[in-house]
Amino acid sequence: MEPARLTQFGAVELARAIAAGDVSAREVVDAHIERIEEVDGDLNAVVIRRFEAARAEATAADAARRAGATLGPLHGVPVVIKDQFDVAGLPTTFGTASRRERVAQDDGQVVAAWRRAGAIVLGKGNVPQYLQAVETDNDVFGRTNNPWDTERTPGGSSGADAAIVAAGGVPLALGADLGGSLRVPAAWCGVATLAPTVRRPLDEAAAAARAESPPDGRKGVPMMHTRTPHGGAAPIRRRGRARPSKPSGPECWVSGAR
């Protein structure tokens, strides 16, 4: 399949195609890296990258499929993570210079759940300083631009996630929302998102986001930007009925997709 076509599919379609052997995870990851390299000079969205590690993980994902391993619902799907959540081996800056050298030793809980589901992290998306703006700009990485008009903002604070999804760089990006941090960029960039009902993402998932909030205690509920509304089914579908009084942990973010 042509690389340009692969960057037009949503996360669910890509995961199904990889699982069926119609396309390899390496082809999917390579196509999205190529797209990021093509567009991100104008957007400045994916400001922390791990492309070579992602390629190696995609090759391993293909080997696992050929060996008959059980595949997660995001197996081989490339994603970008908002620079609020820890990714092992990468800095978590919150857009501030004082944190630029603070490299995470482990994945945050939600990132770890996505990776257990098979997601392949290509890098991290830019944020405003300490996530506190309706645009995406900081003194560390500079300004992220809207893919529809680079003279305009993609919104914030998850603006880079929305921008790179809208531009075809990834089908799925992890962000967080408190007062519109996902919803505003989704509207301004033309992608899909979901603002969870209070306690709807189970308590441990919300606690994971709070643990990765900036020093002033600003909180956000983790959720994603996707190319299409049904593209978020794999990360949020749960087994069984929602029971807010009996949370079952961040694993609920990635289990049971069909």
Catalytic residues: 82, 157, 181
* Closest to 64 measured CA to CA, from 76, 50, 52: 76
Q: Quick one: tokens of 169?
A: 């760089």
Strands (E), 66-220: 78-82, 120-125, 137-138, 142-143, 172-177, 192-193
Distances (CA, A) of 94 to 39, 100, 111: 23, 9, 16
| Residues making up the chain, counted from first to last | 258
Backbone angles phi, psi at 18, to 5 degrees: -65, -45
Of 103, 95, 214, 101, which Cα lies nearest the Cα of 143?
Answer: 95
What would the two tokens of residue 215 be? 């020093």
**Which residue intervals of 9-125 are DSSP H helices?**
11-20, 25-43, 51-66, 109-116
